[in-house]
């Protein structure tokens, strides 16, 4: 491993790309501490402290704490991610976007342009909603308004929308620059940088709890061992595939013979990635936030009492919340996998090039077999995602110790880390240097699981 790091800095191009990426991430963290004008930072911090477990804390995780401080990067890169997901879903619905996705580089540039427009539009809407919402919010402890009263209403709204939209557009530009001049995965690395910044604070806080006698050192060591085990399990599952053997028949074209080779169709165990967890968390955060606002009312009417009961059950540590959470993860796992993979299309492409699965008739039978395998491995992937997601809640309920990572954060950190290692590995192998991965893994690429 040490020699691989040394090899990475021996290549001038790769060394420059690594330094450029680190520089862009430093700019991102610097902007995460530049506040938006017209905000009482103390009152805002007190408000966010009372909103833990709601949609505010969820989005604050992706912004690296910028939303809690309402800095110029408060919206983070989430509008870009939302716009990308919306465009990807619309590609299945609208034939025009589907044609663009098949036109290679030119089509990709157009789709990227539409994604940028969507990002700016979502940023404007979200920035305006945040500005209007902040005007009616106050600190739950001191009662001080979050917005400084010296600013006019529409002046504050316009300034906030312009600042937050510009911040998101700048983050989008940083991500694209990392893709072009850095080591790639620009958007993912920005999210990665925002999440890992909380690790030192969590470690220091845990050490302080041990020193104060509020947390046993043995319990902290046990949590550390569990974290390491979960990280290894996530790496194993994220690099695992189910390979379907494919045989290509021989065919003669002119004076040449083609085909007659054996290959395989790799299907990832977790083909949906972290998307199901993000969707499920976002959707469940909305009702918990709304019921939380209603439950703070001083009225004792029957409706308010019901909302208070619902608000208690819609917290991330409640049983009802986690039941809905797991159900939605399963739903989005199958939904997103169905969007990504079309067994009929895969079977037609295989038949077009003379490929077939041994023991399975080409055409409809092949599509049914691929669909059956996809269903089985998607079910296993949904169980894996659900287990990782509810693990922090289980640890908190049993050991009464907060988990350093949530399920979403853990999957993002590990997934981005693996992708970054693969990017550096590709540079090293192109220059005939030994990389981070073993030679056996370079030949196979991923693990194979039988499900």
Distance between CA atoms of 305 and 26, rounded to whole angstroms?
47
Distance between CA atoms of 226 and 209, rounded to whole angstroms?
19
Angle between helices 186-196 and 55-62 (to 10 degrees): 120
Look at residue 447 and tell me if it is in a domain.
no
Range of the domain at 148: 1-196
> Which H or E run contains 257?
strand 256-258
Residue 377 is predicted with a pLDDT of: 92
SS3 265: strand
pTM here is: 0.74
Look at residue 107 and tell me if it is in a domain.
yes
Confirm if 304 and 238 have CB atoms less than 8 A apart. Answer: no
Residue 423 is predicted with a pLDDT of: 79
| Number of structural domains found in the chain | 1
Look at residue 423 and tell me if it is in a domain.
no
Residues in Cβ contact with 139 at an 8 Å cutoff, skipping those fewer than 6 apart: 40, 42, 43, 44, 46, 47, 145, 146
Look at residue 137 and tell me if it is in a domain.
yes
Distance between CA atoms of 8 and 435, rounded to whole angstroms?
8
Measure Cα distances from 250 to 155, 256, 347 in Å: 72, 10, 18
Residues in Cβ contact with 174 at an 8 Å cutoff, skipping those fewer than 6 apart: 24, 27, 28, 186, 190
Look at residue 3 and tell me if it is in a domain.
yes
Residue 441 is predicted with a pLDDT of: 44
CB count, 10 Å around CB of 305? Answer: 12
Look at residue 235 and tell me if it is in a domain.
no
Q: What tokens appear for 89 in the block?
A: 């879903």
CA dihedral 332, 85, 403, 292 (to 10 degrees): -80
Look at residue 87 and tell me if it is in a domain.
yes
Look at residue 441 and tell me if it is in a domain.
no
Q: What is the pLDDT along the chain (451 residues), one digit of tens a residue?
A: 455 566 677 778 888 888 999 999 999 988 888 888 888 777 777 777 766 655 566 666 666 667 777 888 888 888 888 888 788 778 878 888 888 877 878 888 888 899 999 999 988 988 888 888 777 777 777 777 778 766 667 888 888 899 999 999 999 999 989 988 988 888 888 888 888 887 777 777 778 877 887 777 887 788 778 888 888 888 888 888 888 888 877 666 666 665 567 788 888 888 887 778 877 876 776 666 666 556 555 566 776 677 777 767 777 777 888 888 899 899 989 988 887 888 888 888 888 877 888 888 888 898 999 999 999 999 999 999 888 888 777 777 776 665 555 667 777 788 788 878 877 877 777 766 555 555 444 444 444 444 4
Residue 449 is predicted with a pLDDT of: 44
Q: What is the CATH number of the domain that holds 189?
A: 1.10.3370.10
CA angle 423, 427, 428 (to 5 degrees): 115
Give the HSE-up count for residue 214: Cα atoms under 13 Å, Cβ half-sphere.
9
């Amino acid at each position: 491993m040490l020699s691989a790091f040394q090899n990475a800095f021996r290549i001038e191009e790769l060394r420059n790309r690594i330094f450029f990426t680190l520089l862009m991430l430093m700019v991102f963290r610097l902007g995460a501490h530049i506040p938006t004008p017209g905000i009482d930072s103390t009152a805002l911090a007190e408000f966010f402290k009372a909103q833990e477990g709601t949609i505010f804390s969820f989005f604050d995780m992706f912004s690296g704490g910028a939303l809690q401080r309402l800095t110029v990067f408060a919206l983070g890169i989430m509008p870009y991610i939302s716009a990308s997901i919306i465009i990807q879903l619309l590609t299945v619905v609208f034939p025009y976007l589907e044609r663009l996705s098949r036109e290679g580089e030119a089509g990709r540039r157009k789709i990227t342009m539409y994604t940028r427009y969507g990002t700016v539009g979502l940023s404007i809407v979200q920035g305006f909603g945040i500005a209007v919402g902040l005007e009616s919010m106050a600190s739950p402890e001191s009662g001080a308004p979050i917005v400084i009263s010296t600013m006019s209403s529409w002046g504050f709204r316009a300034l906030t929308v312009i600042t937050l939209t510009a911040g998101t557009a700048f983050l989008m530009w940083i991500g694209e620059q990392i893709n072009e001049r850095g080591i790639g995965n620009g958007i993912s690395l920005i999210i990665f940088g925002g999440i890992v910044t909380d690790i030192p604070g969590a470690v220091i806080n845990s050490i302080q709890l041990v020193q104060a006698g509020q947390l046993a050192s043995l319990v902290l060591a046990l949590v550390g061992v569990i974290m390491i085990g979960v990280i290894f399990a996530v790496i194993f599952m994220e690099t695992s595939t189910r390979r379907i053997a494919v045989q290509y028949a021989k065919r003669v074209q002119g004076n040449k013979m083609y085909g007659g080779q054996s290959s395989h169709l790799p299907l990832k165990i977790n083909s949906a990635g972290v998307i199901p967890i993000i969707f499920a968390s976002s959707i469940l955060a909305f009702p918990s936030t709304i019921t939380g606002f209603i439950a703070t009312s001083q009225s004792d009417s029957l409706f308010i009492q019901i909302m208070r009961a619902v608000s208690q059950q819609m917290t991330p540590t409640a049983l009802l919340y986690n039941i809905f959470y797991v159900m939605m993860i399963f739903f989005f796992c199958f939904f997103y996998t169905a969007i990504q993979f079309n067994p009929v299309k895969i079977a037609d492409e295989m038949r077009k090039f003379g490929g077939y699965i041994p023991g399975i008739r080409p055409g409809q039978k092949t599509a049914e077999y691929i669909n059956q395998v996809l269903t089985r491995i998607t079910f296993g992937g949904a169980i894996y995602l659900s287990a990782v997601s509810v693990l922090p809640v289980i640890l908190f309920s049993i050991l009464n110790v907060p988990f350093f990572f949530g399920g979403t954060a853990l999957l993002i950190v590990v997934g981005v880390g693996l992708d970054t290692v693969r990017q550096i590995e590709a540079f090293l192998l192109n220059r005939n240097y030994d990389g981070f991965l073993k030679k056996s893994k370079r030949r196979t690429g991923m693990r194979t699981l039988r499900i």
